[in-house]
């Protein structure tokens, strides 16, 4: 069973992740946690100092974190973007596409199921926060 | 119509394997029902009253004979010999086993079909005008745009856990035949003053508990920004749509609470940002898709006149055909509303027949309408009589398009676990009553729609006459609404007063139509008379 | 009486708790008293039933079981508009029992 899935080469950040409210008041925090109701764009002035953003999924059905993740990547954030909470294997490939590069689920993943989920899609229809070329790009060179 | 390339096929095939794997994990207990439910819903699989129900997507209502044959085969092999065509241009099967569902999806994939995102909190089947590509009164065929949006919305990683379902409609004519303004997003392809084609966006329409008509949020989006603007609309909804209350979670509530100007402003902001992200397919992709929607090889110089000497044929001709853009051709509507029948249901044999007729008479193309009928879009006028004879033999030639017998009805409590009351028996009784009395002939255009619960899958708010089934202390009860309209002059029906039992609602409908027959002026439809004289005369007749 | 119903996980068929297992026939349903939650939790966990719940019902005059709500009577029999697809296709009065 897999407790943590991480797709980065650098050292994991060990700083505790503070809330967004606390973060914007401090000058030196490097790790922040976004809740579904937080505005990810509040972090945009601070992307340089951030090395870890945790996005919390209290319930897997609340999809606001997917938008938060993409917004941060679109703004140029290249630190660790971690999905935590009620994160399920069947969401992994979509979360990767939205820019998440690490996962700490409440319930550990079955390793085989996680691998299958990540390898599932031979192609993608849309441009997203990952490097995959969408089908429309492949069709037209 | 659109044909998959190897990329499209690979996606559908991967989806089948994904669902096969998810089903296995559910049956083995590795997934709980709570975890599995959203996954099966996004493959169109509901758990309903009697069994699982599978909703197969018919993208913008267009399909060919090979696909229809497979739909009939599925009905025979995995279900009980029939299918139900829905108010969103899809088809549903009511007796599905979960253990068969992956194989059914595999069978569908062999003919470029699927059940992707036909349920769940995601972007659903994109609907369109059932006469697209055939009618003279459209600016362009809207379906290439619907196809572009279909691919964009399929497995879109950011928009698979929206606050609620999301329904998009694309049309391209002044006449709205697809209830565009009653969708979460409605798009009308338009031409601006410079003569350029673009998209007018409407957002926040819908029926259900709180019906609303979508306001226009942007009059013109250039076609080469269609996807980017759509993405902006969805992102604002995903971020700010309500998630605290399932009954307030549709985008119509967000647009209503923010006001259309503020919603539009937030979309503009997001749109400006997204335009820097390179997410728009090149215009070459739209051009590529359009090549699949070129006109079929129409024959030129065909005769436009017809032998109307058969009076029954003449009636069907006048009611169930629509003018075609090409001289010598017509659009033919196959009625799935026989008198006393179950609206929208078709047996496997009938589905096979319609497939054959499409191949023989309509360049191998059919459409599903949101009124639960089937269209053969390109029929030579010279073939209409022969076609009509074949339809007649099969009980598919009831000449009641847009008349009181052409009832739209949800499956209701006979099939649906969400329903409060049965809708089909009410439809059957009304259909029979008006056929027996001959009043269906007198009434002319009258769109009657029945929903078995407030979720409004029967679109009762948009009926000239609408019926809503409710639970009144454990018994079925029916409310009557008048004056709804789904077209350009979209309006929402108003309730007449206290509800009725099953026989009572049939009598009430008859009383309401009697008021119309007594008070109508030259050229007025039921809807027109109602709009002129108002609710009072109807209330008096109903409640005395 | 309190009876238990649900759907078979694999087939989706409507089923009723008999005291030992799940039957397609509502006549086989037993009164579970106050044991509903316990039984349902156990049976769901074992995947012997899906989407299960408890309902009120009464004994018929002829010893049959009649669910209190019309929805469950429709589930017990089948769609009233397709008698041929119900559990009692040959019985012309079956639909009346639902109503």
Q: What is the pLDDT of residue B456?
A: 94
Q: How many CB pairs under 8 A join B and C?
A: 70
Percent of chain B with pLDDT over 70: 100
Is residue B116 domain-resident? no
Percent of chain B with pLDDT over 90: 97
pLDDT band for C11, please (50, 70, 90 cuts). very high
B434 shares its domain with B538: yes
- Pairing of β B91-96 and β B127-128: unpaired
B421 shares its domain with B361: no
Q: What are the pLDDT digits (tens) for A83-123?
A: 999 999 999 999 999 999 999 999 999 999 999 999 999 99
pLDDT band for B208, please (50, 70, 90 cuts). confident
- B244 has a chain A CB within 8 A of its CB: no
Q: What is the pLDDT of residue B496?
A: 98
Beta strands per DSSP E along B42-149 = 45-47, 52-56, 62-63, 82-85, 91-96, 127-128
Q: Which domain holds residue C81?
A: 2-98
Q: The pTM is what? A: 0.97
Q: What are the pLDDT digits (tens) for B146-173?
A: 999 999 999 999 999 999 999 999 999 9
> What are the sequence ranges of the domains in chain A?
5-139
Q: What is the pLDDT of residue A27?
A: 72
Fold of A5-139: Rossmann fold (3.40.50)
pLDDT band for C61, please (50, 70, 90 cuts). confident
Answer yes or no: is the ipTM higher than 0.95: yes
Residue B262 reports pLDDT greater than 90: yes
Residue A25 reports pLDDT greater than 90: no
Euclidean distance between CA atoms B15 and B421, whole angstroms: 36
Residue of B8, B158, B284 with shortest CB distance to A70:
B158
Q: How many CB pairs under 8 A join A and B?
A: 98
- Chain B: nearest CA to C93, how far in angstroms? 16
Q: Do B422 and C71 touch (CB under 8 A)?
A: no
Average pLDDT over residues B249-253: 98
Give the CATH number of the domain where residue B535 resides. 3.30.413.10
Chain B residues with beta carbon closer than 8 angstroms to that of C5: none
B201 shares its domain with B323: no
Average confidence score pLDDT of chain B? 97
Euclidean distance between CA atoms B234 and B203, whole angstroms: 10
Sign of CA dihedral B471, B472, B475, B479: negative
Q: Do C12 and B413 touch (CB under 8 A)?
A: no
Residue B487 reports pLDDT greater than 90: no
Instruction: Select the residue from B157, B269, B271 to test the A interface by mutation, using most A Cβ atoms within 10 A.
Output: B157
Residue of B51, B342, B419 with shortest CB distance to C12:
B51
Torsion of CA B413, B417, B419, B423, to 10 degrees: -30
Average pLDDT over residues B308-326: 97
Q: What are the pLDDT digits (tens) for B433-450?
A: 999 999 999 999 999 999
Question: Do B493 and B461 meet the contact criterion of CB atoms below 8 Å apart?
Answer: yes
Closest to B57 measured CA to CA, from B94, B19, B109, B97: B109
Q: Which residues are registered as beta bridge partners of B199? A: B189, B221
- C42 has a chain B CB within 8 A of its CB: no
Radius of gyration, alpha carbons of chain C: 13
Closest to B538 measured CA to CA, from B496, B506, B493: B496
B360 shares its domain with B412: no
Query: What tokens does B66 get?
Result: 């090979």
Average pLDDT over residues B408-420: 97
| DSSP three-state, residue B71 | helix
- Residues of chain B with a CB closer than 8 angstroms to some CB in chain C: 26-27, 29, 33, 47-52, 80, 94-99, 342, 413-415, 417, 419, 422, 424-425, 428, 474-476
Question: Do B409 and B343 meet the contact criterion of CB atoms below 8 Å apart?
Answer: yes
- Residue B300, Cβ density class (10 Å: 0-12 exposed, 13-18 middle, ≥19 buried): exposed
- Chain B: nearest CA to C87, how far in angstroms? 11
Query: What tokens does B445 get?
Result: 């255009």
B159 shares its domain with B264: yes
Question: Do B408 and B89 meet the contact criterion of CB atoms below 8 Å apart?
Answer: no
Is residue B122 domain-resident? no
Query: What tokens does B13 get?
Result: 């095939």
* Residue numbers of C between 54 and 83 with CB closer than 8 Å to B: 68-71, 74-75, 78-82
Average pLDDT over residues B470-477: 94
Euclidean distance between CA atoms B444 and B318, whole angstroms: 12
B361 shares its domain with B429: no
Average pLDDT over residues B201-205: 98
Q: Which domain holds residue B198?
A: 127-290
Question: For residue B175, what are the CA distances in angstroms to B52, B135, B188, B299, B402?
Answer: 37, 11, 10, 27, 15
- The number of distinct structural domains making up chain C is 1
pLDDT band for B19, please (50, 70, 90 cuts). very high
- The number of distinct structural domains making up chain B is 4
Q: Do A61 and B157 touch (CB under 8 A)?
A: no
Residue A141 reports pLDDT greater than 90: no
Query: What tokens does B195 get?
Result: 């003569």
B104 shares its domain with B141: no
């Amino acid at each position: 069973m897999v407790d943590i899935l991480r797709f980065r080469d650098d050292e994991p950040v060990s700083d505790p992740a503070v809330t967004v409210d606390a973060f914007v008041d401090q000058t030196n925090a490097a790790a922040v946690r976004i809740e579904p109701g937080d505005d990810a764009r509040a972090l945009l002035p601070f992307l340089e100092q951030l090395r870890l953003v945790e996005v919390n999924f209290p319930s897997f059905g609340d999809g606001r974190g997917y938008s938060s993740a993409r917004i941060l990547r679109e703004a140029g954030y290249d630190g660790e973007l971690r999905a935590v909470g009620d994160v399920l294997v069947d969401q992994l490939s979509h979360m990767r596409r939205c820019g998440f590069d690490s996962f700490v689920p409440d319930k550990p993943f079955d390793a085989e199921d996680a691998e299958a989920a990540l390898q599932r899609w031979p192609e993608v229809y849309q441009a997203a926060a990952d490097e995959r070329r969408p089908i429309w790009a492949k069709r037209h060179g | 119509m659109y044909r998959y390339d190897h990329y499209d096929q690979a996606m559908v095939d991967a989806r089948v394997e994904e669902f096969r794997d998810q089903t296995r994990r559910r049956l083995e207990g590795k997934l709980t029902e709570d975890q599995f439910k959203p996954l099966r819903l996004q493959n169109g699989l509901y758990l309903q009253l009697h069994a699982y129900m599978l909703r197969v997507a018919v993208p913008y209502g267009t399909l060919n004979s090979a696909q229809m044959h497979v739909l009939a085969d599925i009905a025979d092999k995995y279900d009980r010999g029939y299918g139900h065509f829905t108010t969103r241009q899809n088809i549903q099967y009511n007796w599905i086993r979960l253990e068969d569902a992956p194989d059914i999806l595999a069978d569908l994939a062999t003919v470029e079909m699927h059940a992707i995102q036909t349920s769940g909190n995601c972007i659903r089947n994109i609907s369109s005008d059932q006469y697209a590509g055939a009618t003279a009164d459209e600016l362009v065929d809207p379906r290439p745009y619907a196809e572009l949006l279909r691919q964009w919305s399929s497995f879109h990683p950011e928009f698979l856990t929206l606050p609620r379902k999301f329904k998009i409609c694309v049309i391209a004519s002044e006449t709205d035949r697809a209830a565009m303004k009653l969708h979460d997003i409605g798009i009308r392809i338009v031409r601006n003053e410079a003569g350029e084609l673009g998209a007018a966006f409407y957002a926040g329409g819908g029926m259900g508990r709180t019906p609303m008509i979508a306001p226009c949020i942007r009059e013109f989006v250039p076609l080469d920004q269609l996807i980017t603007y759509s993405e902006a609309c969805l992102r604002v909804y995903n971020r700010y749509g309500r998630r605290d209350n399932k009954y307030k979670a549709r985008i119509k509530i967000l647009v209503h609470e923010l006001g259309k100007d503020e919603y539009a402003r937030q979309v503009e902001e997001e749109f400006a940002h997204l335009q820097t992200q390179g997410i728009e397919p090149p215009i070459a992709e739209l051009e590529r898709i359009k090549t699949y929607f070129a006109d079929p090889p129409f024959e030129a110089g065909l005769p436009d006149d017809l032998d109307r000497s058969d009076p029954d044929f003449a009636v069907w001709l006048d009611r169930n055909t629509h003018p075609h853009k090409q001289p010598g051709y017509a659009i033919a509507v196959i009625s799935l509303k026989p008198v006393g029948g179950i609206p929208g249901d078709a047996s496997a044999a009938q589905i096979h027949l319609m497939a054959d007729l499409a191949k023989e008479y309509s360049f191998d193309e059919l459409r599903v309408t949101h009124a639960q009928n089937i269209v053969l879009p390109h029929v030579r006028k010279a073939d209409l009589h022969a076609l009509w004879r074949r339809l007649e033999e099969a009980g598919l030639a009831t000449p009641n398009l847009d008349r009181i017998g052409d009832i739209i009805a949800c499956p209701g409590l006979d099939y649906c676990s969400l329903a409060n009351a049965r809708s089909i028996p009410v439809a059957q009784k009304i259909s029979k009553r008006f056929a027996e009395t001959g009043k269906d002939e007198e009434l002319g255009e009258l769109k009657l729609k029945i929903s078995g619960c407030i979720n409004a899958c029967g679109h009762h708010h948009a009926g000239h006459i609408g019926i809503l089934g409710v639970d009144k202390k454990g018994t079925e009860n029916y409310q009557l609404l008048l004056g709804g309209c789904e077209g350009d002059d979209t309006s929402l029906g108003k309730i007449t007063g206290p509800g009725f039992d099953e026989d009572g609602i049939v009598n009430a409908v008859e009383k309401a139509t009697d008021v119309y027959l007594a008070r109508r002026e030259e050229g007025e439809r039921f809807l027109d008379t109602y709009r002129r004289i108002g609710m009072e005369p109807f209330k008096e007749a109903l409640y005395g | 009486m309190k009876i238990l119903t649900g759907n078979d996980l694999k087939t989706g068929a409507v089923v009723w708790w008999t005291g030992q297992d799940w039957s397609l026939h509502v006549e086989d349903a037993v009164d579970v008293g106050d044991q509903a939650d316990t039984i349902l939790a156990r049976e769901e966990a074992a995947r012997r039933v899906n989407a299960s719940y408890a309902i009120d019902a009464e004994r018929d005059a002829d010893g049959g079981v009649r669910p209190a709500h019309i929805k469950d009577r429709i589930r017990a029999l089948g769609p009233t508009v397709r008698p041929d697809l119900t559990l009692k296709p040959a019985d012309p009065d079956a639909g009346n029992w639902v109503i």
